[in-house]
Chain A
């Protein structure tokens, strides 16, 4: 009798539109059409950019738009990059100088600092770590002006030094990520190394670093992206066109009178492309980095 009230009736007794299979089908159709529709919407700006970049200038300003460029002007890329007034090859070189200078410093200093916070005990450590986390919330505006004055006084303005040197003193977010990771490494490994008479430097390079590639990659990739996109500080500190990194160079191009839209879009494509390639190669690192941040907030 109890069985009769329990709603497990034979499949064929219920009409198809009430079955579970039908429900999942509808659910999947709705989910996937929304996903596909939204993907098109999110990708459309990229398509608009690339198609404009490949058009002849007189085909750019027409309505209805030319959806597929005809003729396809690959030469736009060459024209955008070889304008002597806008030395894009130099912009790329400058960005790479910043990338190498900042990332090397950040990885070395943050590994050392994070190890201290993860493994070593000392009075005042907790207060220090709280201050470190508090700096994450500090708006840059409060320190930007005096920093500028400081670098101006020592004659570093219009050089890469104000952009690179401070990063050699660690960066709170990277320190936090690394510390969380180092804490999961079993202590026994270091103790064994210490028994063998290894010093701090040897423990770091022989034990910690080889085990920490996942977190080092996350820091590396996220730093690469941030430095590539950095705008405010280079804008503030660099005055010569020849010292601009790509983001500032692109903004400068955008600010010119009578800019050719097809060339501007071609330049945008070239500026975005390296990041997009890095992103596809190292997608996992991006996703992990963000998820780690999210976990930190929970």
Chain B
């Protein structure tokens, strides 16, 4: 009797252990493709790029170790780097609030409507599915200085519209205005957030005599702050990686990358030009790492600051 029980007791953990091991093996079989892909196409390239950022390399000859020279040059004597930061920063500072406010406004309108919501939602979302390339092609024509509807509209008010994408003072502003057209994704995320706010809060506020503005500032905005935060982080990351639209518009009709006169020289455009047109791989990868750090720091700042303005129900209790 005793031997039988001890045997069963001993057998149980063993079989469970081998079962767990079998499951672990199965897990690694399942995720193997991702692990291999991660090492081949992400981790490996990251380590390699860290190395080449300390070299001078044009692909054709062997890379030459130059220490911190690339980084030093970027920060001390590269006017294009400064210009690209200025362009990207300006774009981020203006386009992010503009598109977030547009998206939020559209979401609130959709949330207020009772009938035909899906029709309007489709309409506002439609520009988002269009490729950046097609949108750029289309908006060039809309911003056409002589025959475009925007300058035509300005003309009705007696304003002589600018040359937009051919004018270094206005090209970037054209891109900023354009960015508020494709906010469908952010709008849907806001809409989901609005639907998640308990109705009872509004009903209670209404009984207490709170008007519409008070309800917006005291309920909607605080309850929506996690969603705003989520959209903001994604928008910051996106703005610093802007490429397609600016590339298509600035290179149109055999123009130069980031033109006219480098007024739309976004960070990624400058990087692309250095790496793939001028073949300065070492220098361009150093730029890529700086971009990585900029995005990382900005994301961290947004994350840290979120404690100040993102409403957290769990914390309040």
Residues of A within 8 A of B (CB): 27-28, 31-32, 34-35, 38-39, 42-46, 48-49, 52, 60-65, 109, 112-113, 115-117, 120-123, 125, 128, 131-132, 135, 137-150, 152, 166, 168-170, 175, 200, 225, 228-229, 231-232, 235-236, 247-248, 250-251, 254-257, 259, 261, 264-265, 268, 271-272, 275-276, 279-280, 283, 286-287, 290-291, 293-295, 297-298
Q: List 15 A-B contacts (CB under 8 A).
A: A31-B112, A46-B126, A65-B152, A131-B38, A139-B295, A145-B49, A145-B52, A146-B49, A146-B52, A169-B38, A236-B276, A251-B136, A259-B253, A265-B138, A290-B188
Are A251 and B30 in contact, CB atoms less than 8 angstroms apart? no
In the complex, which residues of chain A have a beta carbon less than 8 angstroms from the beta carbon of B254?
Answer: 255, 257
Are B24 and A45 in contact, CB atoms less than 8 angstroms apart? no
How far, in Å, is A103 (CB) from chain B's closest CB?
16
Of A113, A132, A150, A297, the most chain B CB neighbours within 10 A belong to A297
**Once bound together, how far apart are the Cα atoms of A251 and B252, in whole Å?**
8
In the complex, which residues of chain B have a beta carbon less than 8 angstroms from the beta carbon of A35?
Answer: 109-110, 113, 116, 120
Are B129 and A231 in contact, CB atoms less than 8 angstroms apart? no
In the complex, which residues of chain A have a beta carbon less than 8 angstroms from the beta carbon of B132?
Answer: 229, 231
Are A140 and B241 in contact, CB atoms less than 8 angstroms apart? yes
Are A251 and B133 in contact, CB atoms less than 8 angstroms apart? yes
How far, in Å, is A245 (CB) from chain B's closest CB?
10
How far, in Å, is B238 (CB) from chain A's closest CB?
10
Interface string of B120-159 (1 = CB under 8 A from A): 1111111101111110111111100011010010000000
Q: A31-B109, A123-B24, A145-B281 are in contact. Are A45 and B34 (CB under 8 A)?
A: no
In the complex, which residues of chain B have a beta carbon less than 8 angstroms from the beta carbon of A232?
Answer: 243-244
In the complex, which residues of chain B have a beta carbon less than 8 angstroms from the beta carbon of A268?
Answer: 134, 137-138
User: Does B227 lie at the interface of the complex (its beta carbon under 8 Å from any beta carbon of A)?
Assistant: yes
How far, in Å, is A182 (CB) from chain B's closest CB?
11
Interface string of B31-51 (1 = CB under 8 A from A): 101111110111011101100
Are A297 and B189 in contact, CB atoms less than 8 angstroms apart? yes
Q: Which residues 20-70 of B have a CB within 8 angstroms of A?
A: 20, 23-24, 26-31, 33-38, 40-42, 44-46, 48-49, 52, 59
Further pairs besides A231-B247, A275-B129: 15, Cβ < 8 Å: A28-B114, A44-B149, A45-B139, A48-B138, A48-B149, A63-B147, A63-B152, A138-B292, A141-B291, A143-B45, A145-B285, A229-B132, A276-B129, A290-B189, A291-B188
Are B42 and A135 in contact, CB atoms less than 8 angstroms apart? yes
Contact partner of A141 (CB less than 8 A), chosen from B127, B139, B288, is B288
Are A63 and B41 in contact, CB atoms less than 8 angstroms apart? no
Chain A binding surface SS class: helix
User: Does B237 lie at the interface of the complex (its beta carbon under 8 Å from any beta carbon of A)?
Assistant: yes
How far, in Å, is A202 (CB) from chain B's closest CB?
13
Q: A35-B113, A268-B137, A291-B189 are in contact. Are A138 and B42 (CB under 8 A)?
A: yes
> Total A-B residue pairs with C-beta atoms closer than 8 Å?
272
Are B248 and A254 in contact, CB atoms less than 8 angstroms apart? yes
How far, in Å, is B221 (CB) from chain A's closest CB?
16
Interface size on B, residues (CB 8 A): 98
Are A64 and B152 in contact, CB atoms less than 8 angstroms apart? yes
How far, in Å, is B89 (CB) from chain A's closest CB?
16
In the complex, which residues of chain B have a beta carbon less than 8 angstroms from the beta carbon of A140?
Answer: 241
How far, in Å, is B101 (CB) from chain A's closest CB?
13
How far, in Å, is A81 (CB) from chain B's closest CB?
15
In the complex, which residues of chain A have a beta carbon less than 8 angstroms from the beta carbon of B185?
Answer: 290, 293
Contact partner of A250 (CB less than 8 A), chosen from B48, B134, B233, is B134
Interface string of B225-242 (1 = CB under 8 A from A): 011011101100100110
Q: Which of chain B's residues has its CB closest to A228's CB?
A: B131
Q: A27-B112, A147-B41, A170-B37 are in contact. Are A291 and B192 (CB under 8 A)?
A: yes
Are B189 and A115 in contact, CB atoms less than 8 angstroms apart? no
Of B37, B231, B241, the most chain A CB neighbours within 10 A belong to B37
How far, in Å, is A151 (CB) from chain B's closest CB?
10
Are B31 and A116 in contact, CB atoms less than 8 angstroms apart? yes
How far, in Å, is A186 (CB) from chain B's closest CB?
18
**Once bound together, how far apart are the Cα atoms of A135 and B237, in whole Å?**
13
Q: A125-B27, A145-B275, A228-B131 are in contact. Are A279 and B226 (CB under 8 A)?
A: no
In the complex, which residues of chain A have a beta carbon less than 8 angstroms from the beta carbon of B241?
Answer: 139-141
In the complex, which residues of chain A have a beta carbon less than 8 angstroms from the beta carbon of B265?
Answer: none
In the complex, which residues of chain A have a beta carbon less than 8 angstroms from the beta carbon of B275?
Answer: 144-145, 148
User: Does B106 lie at the interface of the complex (its beta carbon under 8 Å from any beta carbon of A)?
Assistant: yes
How far, in Å, is A170 (CB) from chain B's closest CB?
4
Are B24 and A48 in contact, CB atoms less than 8 angstroms apart? no
Are A113 and B30 in contact, CB atoms less than 8 angstroms apart? yes
**Once bound together, how far apart are the Cα atoms of A291 and B35, in whole Å?**
28
Q: A131-B38, A138-B42 are in contact. Are A61 and B147 (CB under 8 A)?
A: yes
Are A247 and B131 in contact, CB atoms less than 8 angstroms apart? yes
Interface pairs A-B: 5 shortest CB-CB: A169-B37, A116-B30, A297-B230, A229-B131, A294-B189
In the complex, which residues of chain A have a beta carbon less than 8 angstroms from the beta carbon of B112?
Answer: 27, 31
Are A250 and B41 in contact, CB atoms less than 8 angstroms apart? no
Are B123 and A149 in contact, CB atoms less than 8 angstroms apart? no
Q: A38-B106, A42-B181 are in contact. Are A166 and B124 (CB under 8 A)?
A: no
Q: Which of chain A's residues has its CB closest to B24's CB?
A: A122
Contact partner of A112 (CB less than 8 A), chosen from B30, B109, B118, B231, is B30
How far, in Å, is A150 (CB) from chain B's closest CB?
7
